[in-house]
Copies of this chain bind each other. A is one copy, B any other.
Amino acid sequence: MNQYQAFRVELADKVANVVINRPEKINAMNAAFWTEIIDIFKWIDETDDVRVVVLSGAGAHFSSGIDLQLLAQVGGELGKDVGRNAEKLRRKILSLQASFNAVDNCRKPVIAAIQGYCLGGAIDLISACDMRYSTSDAQFSIKEIDMGMAADVGTLQRLPRIIGDGMMRELAFTGRTINGEEARSIGLVNRSYADQQALQDGVQDLARQIAEKSPLAIRGTKEMIRYMRDHRVDDGLEYIATWNAAMLQAADLRVAVTAHMTKQKPDFAD
């Protein structure tokens, strides 16, 4: 595990805690943030000992979104030719998207724990996580519309699959702030907690539960749900059949059945 400028990462009991760690800047996403998050999720993917990830923000807020200085810097790199600027911007956006794709494509479940502000780019980020939990007074806003731009690192692509289409458009067009309780009622978060401590207790408990399951089964399950976001039911059925053709020959099914018979807790290999 490396040291990071924008994050603090800890591993305990097979749960990796990834904390955005710039509380003095409301965890704004600076240049270090965008590159380090790729390294972190590469490490998570390759480390068998990590089975679940909890993503949170240090301090009173989850994150205020992209750092405006970073935006300004990108603007400063543009030249005179509109076409070449367009190519540069297109590749820059694709590269920022790649940072959140690393979260989305992570083989292990990623749980977002949200308190305080969760604005702009932070919505893009939590849309790429598997599940979201918040305090009841957390504040969510698709802030990009107030920057005069359409959100371009994932909110508009992933959020419509999570919340209803009608409310999606209202939030994206107005940038209206909703709290944790309303977020729960539209399916943006699975549960809202009274305060930050209850939130942390809740997600850590959830993370531990998932960490005890067969890691092969969890990966297969995540891959299938991810796949269904974009594919047909018949393709999905063919895919899981091909996947499980190998996986059902693994030890895990036997371990689970034995544990079930002997009424003991199963112990799955990494």
Query: Hey, which bits of chain A sit against chain B, CB under 8 A?
Result: 68, 71, 75, 78, 81-87, 89-90, 93-94, 97, 101, 104, 109, 130-132, 144-152, 154, 156-158, 160-170, 172-175, 186-190, 206, 209-210, 213-214, 216-225, 228-257, 260, 266, 268-269
Contacts and interface: CB of A to CB of B under 8 A. Distances in A.
Contacts of A104: 233
B156 A213 contact: no
A147 B260 contact: yes
B206 A174 contact: yes
B249 A168 contact: no
Contacts of A256: 146-149
Contacts of A213: 145-146, 148, 173-175
A245 B187 contact: no
A193 to B, nearest CB: 14
Nearest to A256: B148
A183 B192 CA distance: 18
Contacts of A206: 170, 174
A237 B256 CA distance: 32
Given A89-B245, A144-B217, A164 B187 contact: yes
B150 A233 contact: no
Contacts of A210: 173-174
B244 A243 contact: no
A148 B84 CA distance: 13
Contacts of A257: 68, 71, 147-148
Nearest to A232: B230
A239 B241 contact: no
A86 B156 contact: no
Contacts of A249: 78, 82-83, 85-86, 89, 246
Contact of A83 (B165, B231, B246): B246
Contacts of A253: 75, 147-149
B82 A82 contact: yes
A244 B156 contact: no
A239 B239 contact: yes
A241 B149 contact: no
Nearest to A144: B217
B162 A166 contact: yes
Given A78-B249, A174-B209, A220 B148 contact: no
Contact of A228 (B85, B160, B173, B221): B160
